[in-house]
Structure 1
């Protein structure tokens, strides 16, 4: 990424994704958050996963950490959950990347596993500190399931444009 435009575009895209995660949740709050469901947008995670599989980004772990700190400070007010989980996801995906080819189905399944992991860890951490009292079964039905469905749809819509973006601006 040394001389590519990606070193400028990647952080910009990351910031846009962080902002869009909250903006979409705010704009569509009446649909995303009801008494029976809670949908969590994971565009930031999508951006990081696509960077692993299709981009050539220097210091991606650092960018994941920075994204996690911003996400924690702005959306949760508690430092720790996302600043740890985003770099962990990047590390785990890089390890898994070596064993698979980069195609729609593989990246989709890995992304859905990542969404599950991030959502479950955030739930667990919030339960631990008393920010939520929702039971595990309710969490799966009301938050995890709808979040997976929403993020599946978003991934399907954005896969080709984001893949083309990373391939165009990376020197791979």
Structure 2
């Protein structure tokens, strides 16, 4: 019996895209973080959603907890928010995807819902613990909108290459 290579590429890709998000945010910080808007790169969510949709993953919740914990330790310094949010995203993606036929639009909409949920839940958690003092209207206009636009563009550019990669190594 042959073991699919995605068993190994999924966690590697997950951690690679997590650190790619940080590298892009650092490299383009003057363009992504201004006084009028803030863009959060979420390429690791793209990788997660695409892998959940196009392959049968081995222990996706364990890897989601691990990457959430790494995100919390590396980027925020608070253990908990992403450790809980990322497995929730895996569960919701699996649930939503089970109702639809695979297509570009379906995966795009699931991805946008996941990005919205991740960004909104992270904002709520930060508001509850006092790490942010911006209003909901400011959050939507200055962070959520630009984040969705950026991640939509990234999705359109990366959809075909990532899908082909996953399909090639899932066999």
TM tier, shorter chain?
A: over 0.9
Q: Which runs of 5+ in 2 are unaligned?
A: none
Greater shift, 48-57 or 140-149, is seen at 48-57
Deviations 1:8-57 (A, max 9, x none): 21111111101011110000000000000000000111111001111221
**Per-residue CA shift, 1:96-154, capped at 9, x if unaligned?**
11110111111001100100000000000001111110100000000000000000000
Q: 1:140 aligns to what?
A: 140
Aligned match of 2:12: 12
Q: Distance in 2 between matches of 1:8 and 1:92?
A: 23
Q: Which runs of 4+ in 1 moved over 6 A?
A: none
- TM-score (norm. length: structure 2): 0.97
CA distance in 1, matches of 2:98, 2:15: 28
TM-score of the aligned structures, taking structure 1 as reference length: 0.96
Match of 1:30 in 2: 30
The reply on whether 1:65 has 2:65 as its aligned counterpart is yes
Cα distance in 2 for residues equivalent to 1:68 and 1:155 = 21
Gaps of 5+ in 1: none
CA distance in 2, matches of 1:101, 1:70: 33
Shift of residue 62, structure 1, vs aligned partner: 0.8
For residue 119 of structure 1, what is the aligned residue in structure 2? 119
| Matching residue of 1:82 | 82
| Partners of 2:115 and 2:141 in 1: CA distance | 15
1:130 is matched with which residue?
130
Structure 2: distance between partners of 1:155 and 1:90: 17
The structural deviation recorded for 1:7 is 1.6
CA RMSD of aligned residues (A): 1.2
Give 1:163's aligned residue: 163
Residue 57 of structure 2 aligns to a residue in which SS? coil
SS in 1 for 2:126: helix
For residues 34 and 6 of structure 1, the distance between their equivalents in structure 2, rounded to whole angstroms, comes to 38
